[in-house]
Amino acid sequence: MLQAIPEDSVGTPISDKNSLSIDNVIFIGNKPTMNYVLAIVTQFQNGQSEVVVRGRGKAISRAVDAVEVALHKFLPQVEKQQITTSTEEIESEDGVIRVSVIEIVLTYQTDAKI
């Protein structure tokens, strides 16, 4: 069942404290790796202290590549805080398909030596 999300007077969704914010989540797809590297760097330059990079299926290797390039070439003060792997079940015309997922949590280290 779909539920309506409450909105403020200008139409912006109002979220409660317990809801998951996806402002700092980068979903990896089929674009070139450097597009995602730029997205990661931009998130940190815009003031995020934590960014989550998420890839599914064939995009897992692209997610790892984007994180490694961003950290080694552009963001030496950012570290991998957590790496999580899991499996999602997706309903398709052929039934339920299981897809592997990786989530890499990156955090800005204020005391890092450059």
* Res. 52: pLDDT tops 50: yes
Kindly tell me if the per-residue pLDDT of 4 is higher than 50. Answer: no
Q: What is the arithmetic mean of pLDDT over 13-37?
A: 76
For tokens 């015309």, the residue is: 93
DSSP 44-111: HHTT-SEEEEEEEGGGHHHHHHHHHHIIIII-TTEEEEEEEEEEEEEEETTEEEEEEEEEEEEEE-TT
Contact (Cβ atoms closer than 8 angstroms) between residue 106 and residue 68: no
Helix (H, G, I), strand (E, B) or coil at 7: strand
Q: What is the pTM of this model?
A: 0.77
Once rounded to an integer, what is the mean pLDDT over residues 91-111?
Answer: 93
Percent above pLDDT 70 for the chain: 79
Q: Calculate the CA 62 to chain-centre distance.
A: 12
The CATH number that domain 25-108 falls under is 3.30.110.20
